[in-house]
Amino acid sequence: MKKKVAALSLAGIMALGGVFAVSSPAGATGEGPNYGGNETVQTQILHTYQEMADFLKTQDKKQKAMQLEVIGKTVKGRDIFLVKYITDENNPTVLFLTQQHGNEQLTTEGALEFIKHLGTNKTKGVLDNVNILIIPMLNADGAMGDVDFPLDDYIATGRHLTRYNAVGTDLNRDHVAKAQPETQALHDNVLNKYDIDYMIDLHHQGTQSEVNGKLVSGSILYPTNSAVDPELVDRSKKLGAVVYHAVDSKGWGHVGKYAGGSALTIARNGIAKEYGIATLLFEMRGMSDHSSESAILGQKSNGYLIKQTITTLDATVRAIADGTIETVDASFWDTLPEQTSRSGEEEDE
């Protein structure tokens, strides 16, 4: 576990609600440290499932405001954890969902660091006015490479991580059928159980997406299915505005509009339609493992991607807690360019 703490030292010295105490990491914008055979992609520096579970249990003992709940099990029998901060059931509630796709782990690393900071006085007063739900690893089997299909062509050194769950299903295409135990747990024991107002679905995309000729650090999108209530779409755009302005103000972020589909099987569409939740997709740049070199970044990028995740979560809970999310200017969506790809990348969301 000490190795993981060291790997996250950049995020660990971040002061929530203030300014990062470190200079902007190299490669946060522009070309970035692409993987091209010269840099290793090591998954040993990422939390394993068991290390994540141990971390959550330790934080649960330390933090008075935190509750840890098991909402179900994966195909291979791993517990799926929900981290809860519920001070007042009448408060607005936000859900952060990470790792529907098992090879997209840096958002999970950021979420774990954010959970640790929620137990400090840096967030004093915030938890009085907002309820926070965090699922830090929905697809634990994919994250551990414990799947019923080969991963021999994957690139990372160490354990392999894959997009799909143990039986080869993309969980972010299962929000209508809800055929997989991971998706069932999310819907039955979180979405149906708690009165959730906002959700950010955190993912990673490939490395070659750009806006205005410059590679992005990530991309965002609101629900685009025509059956979603327009008022809910507007609320989702405000959620996106909070995130965009927070990341853009740092100087190292470069965010574009994601080119996503409208199917209800996708979380940001289906969950918005079924539950009336304002949803936002955030796709961070670069995956933790893949069979395609264009999809992954070397680990020199880890710091700024974790930092971008923490910025997103912190800005969101503060805007909901103080009510500024209701008045934020979302007009940037009118001019936010839709990203394009420099090369043919696989579908990400």
Query: Which residues share a beta bridge with 283?
Result: 203, 219
User: Given this model, what pLDDT does residue 299 score?
Assistant: 73
With 80 as the cut, is the pLDDT of residue 204 above it? yes
Cut 0.85: pTM above it:
yes
pLDDT at 35: 60
Average pLDDT over residues 60-65: 97
Least confident of 9-13, 50-54, 317-321: 9-13
Q: Which 3-state string (H, E, C) describes 277-294? A: CEEEEEEEECECCCCCHH
Q: Per-residue pLDDT for 269 more than 50? A: yes
- What's the rounded mean pLDDT across residues 198-226? 95
342: confidence class by pLDDT, cuts 50, 70, 90: confident
Which segments of the chain are extended strands (E)?
Answer: 67-73, 79-85, 93-98, 131-135, 198-205, 209-211, 214-215, 218-221, 255-257, 278-285, 340-341
Q: Is the pLDDT of residue 132 over 90?
A: yes
Provide the pLDDT confidence category of residue 89 given band limits of 50, 70 and 90.
Answer: very high
> Which one has a higher pLDDT value, 302 or 63?
63
Q: What is the pLDDT of residues 177-202, one digit of tens each?
A: 999 999 999 999 999 999 999 999 99
With a cut of 60, say whether residue 343 has pLDDT above it: yes
Helix (H/G/I), strand (E/B), else coil: 116: helix
Strand segments, DSSP code E, in 63-206 are: 67-73, 79-85, 93-98, 131-135, 198-205
Dist. CA 327–CA 319, nearest whole Å: 10
Residue 75 has pLDDT above 90, yes or no: yes
- C-alpha angle with apex 125: 71 to 322, nearest 5 degrees? 90
pLDDT for the residue 221: 98
Checking if the pLDDT of 233 tops 80, the result is: yes
Pick the most confident of 34-38, 120-124, 292-296, 333-337.
Answer: 333-337
Contact yes or no for 283/348 (Cβ under 8 A): yes
- Main-chain phi, psi angles of 268, to 5 degrees: -65, -25
Tell me which of 37-41, 155-159, 242-246 is least confident.
37-41
Sign of CA dihedral 202, 314, 26, 46: negative
pLDDT at 69 over 50: yes
347: pLDDT confidence band, cut at 50, 70 and 90? low
Question: What whole-number percentage of the chain has pLDDT above 90?
Answer: 76
Distance from C-alpha of 232 to C-alpha of 317, rounded to nearest angstrom: 18
Q: Work out the angle at residue 230's Cα, subtended by the Cα atoms of residues 225 and 236, and round it to the nearest 5 degrees.
A: 80
pLDDT at 10: 36
| DSSP 8-state assignment for residue 190 | I
Task: With cut-offs at 50, 70 and 90, classify the pLDDT of residue 5.
Answer: very low
Asked if 76 and 331 touch (Cβ cutoff 8 Å), the reply is no
Residue 282: name the closest of 126, 140, 96 by CA. 96
Q: What is the pLDDT of residue 19?
A: 28
Q: Is 34 a residue whose pLDDT tops 50?
A: yes
Q: Is residue 28 over pLDDT 80?
A: no
